[in-house]
Amino acid sequence: MKKNINSGEKYRLPILGLLALAMAGFMAIMTETLPAGLLPQISNGLNVSESLAGQLVTLYAVGSLTAAIPVIVATRRWRRRPLLLSAICGFLVFNSVTAISSSYILTLIARFFAGVSAGIAWGLIAGYARRMVSDELKGRGMAIAMIGTPIALTFGVPIGTFLGAFIGWRSVFGIMSFMAFILIGWILWKVPDYPGQSNDEQLSIIDVFKTPGVRSILFVVMTWMTAHNILYTYIAPFLISLDMQRVDLALFLFGISALTSIFIVGSLIDRWLRFLVLSSIAVFTIDSVLFGINGGNAIVIYIGVIMWGLTFGGAATLLQTALAETVKDEAVDMVMSINTTVWNLAIASGALTGGILLKTIGPSSFSGAMFVLLLLALFTALKSKQHGFN
């Protein structure tokens, strides 16, 4: 069901509503990654080793990965705002449990269901953003709705880690719960409700997966994001192997350039989707070579990190827009749930591949692995002109 937009609203963006969606994405990323910066405190608080505390991140990812598709399928007939609110309520409840639990097992369970909430949210945000704006502004609307991700990665986690040192890790999760409470009111205030799908509108997941272009785009998601996560997961040992100790500076430069990329993509995506996808992958491919032949030159590495951020910041918006443009309107939430699953598989694949390479060959091998993956992504995107990236 398409939204009717009169001529006076045609080129107007519902900024506050889109920013509420961005806040939901910010919360999902923050909830996922906070334990990584608070592992020593969490391990002491739960009386477990740091490696076991690290499984709080794993269980969250498993929850997102396993729930995204089945939950979206099971709730296709639900009205959209109550479903979105259920995801935010999940963050409120399960972050609160994490904040007060003294049981490691209970905390793991809470983290799993927080991941389920994230899987629901990621399945809804892109399709929701597109329904809130006119056809001429769909890409820009998605860019605004996705801005919470790079902000969380750039500023949220370091700030959360910093606060944890002063007020404790439980209080940080308590703050996340309070933010979820505020967001519930924000969504009720500024995010419109939309109907779910009737029986005759529903497509099976197989039908959506078989839609021409979808598999090509998902393959690009898998290869591009696996390459990214090989480097991003192990950026510290990679930089240290090049005698660079300022990992914080590199990540800050990456984050700022990623934010810049969001604004660039948001202004151009509705006219230049294919060009932006191809140029982003091509520049990152060149960047992978640059990382391999830099010889430890700090300036070259920092330039490479900035280029990397510029290619990555708008990636989620580009890929989700391509998927949304490829399927019918009634299949957008379904294809986004598939994308969430593939995206999380790519994160796991990048972490696993990078870990094996780090242990067996060393961080110098990252460049070659990334180059091969990115060439595959670029070749697939180039071939997918008629169906997929057009």
Look at 54 and 342; give whichever has higher pLDDT: 342
Domain hosting 90: range is: 13-193
Q: Is residue 7 part of a domain?
A: no
Q: Are residues 224 and 335 in the same domain?
A: yes
Per-residue confidence band for 1, with pLDDT thresholds at 50, 70 and 90: very low
Q: Is residue 230 part of a domain?
A: yes
Domain end point (choices 193, 213, 235): 193
Q: What is the pLDDT of residue 5?
A: 45
Q: Are residues 328 and 182 in the same domain?
A: no
Q: Are residues 248 and 340 in the same domain?
A: yes
Q: Are residues 223 and 362 in the same domain?
A: yes
Q: What tokens does 339 get? A: 């994308």
Q: Are residues 43 and 165 in the same domain?
A: yes
Q: Is residue 200 part of a domain?
A: no
Q: Are residues 209 and 178 in the same domain?
A: no
Domain end point (choices 193, 227, 261): 193
Q: Are residues 68 and 146 in the same domain?
A: yes
Q: What is the pLDDT of residue 13?
A: 87
Q: Does the pLDDT of residue 36 top 90, yes or no?
A: no
Q: Is residue 243 part of a domain?
A: yes
Q: What is the pLDDT of residue 11?
A: 61
Per-residue confidence band for 350, with pLDDT thresholds at 50, 70 and 90: confident
Q: Is residue 385 part of a domain?
A: yes
Q: Is residue 199 part of a domain?
A: no
Q: Does the pLDDT of residue 2 top 60, yes or no?
A: no
Q: Is residue 1 part of a domain?
A: no
Q: Are residues 228 and 140 in the same domain?
A: no
Per-residue confidence band for 227, with pLDDT thresholds at 50, 70 and 90: very high
Q: Are residues 132 and 209 in the same domain?
A: no
Q: What is the pLDDT of residue 10?
A: 53
Q: Are residues 131 and 186 in the same domain?
A: yes
Q: Are residues 108 and 172 in the same domain?
A: yes
Domain end point (choices 193, 215, 232): 193
Q: Is residue 198 part of a domain?
A: no
Of 226-235, 239-248, 296-305, the range with the lowest mean pLDDT is 239-248
Per-residue confidence band for 157, with pLDDT thresholds at 50, 70 and 90: low
Q: Does the pLDDT of residue 200 top 90, yes or no?
A: no
Of 256-265, 309-318, 381-390, the range with the lowest mean pLDDT is 381-390
Mean predicted confidence (pLDDT) in 179-203: 86
Mean predicted confidence (pLDDT) in 318-325: 91
Q: What is the pLDDT of residue 27?
A: 95
CATH number at residue 103: 1.20.1250.20
Q: Are residues 261 and 140 in the same domain?
A: no
Look at 85 and 353; give whichever has higher pLDDT: 85
The 10s digit of each residue's pLDDT in 40-62 is 889 899 998 887 888 888 888 88
Q: What is the pLDDT of residue 287?
A: 94
Look at 151 and 28; give whichever has higher pLDDT: 28
Q: Structural domain tally of the chain?
A: 2
The 10s digit of each residue's pLDDT in 322-336 is 998 898 877 888 898
Q: Does the pLDDT of residue 286 top 90, yes or no?
A: yes
What is the overall mean pLDDT for the chain?
Answer: 87
Q: Does the pLDDT of residue 79 top 60, yes or no?
A: yes
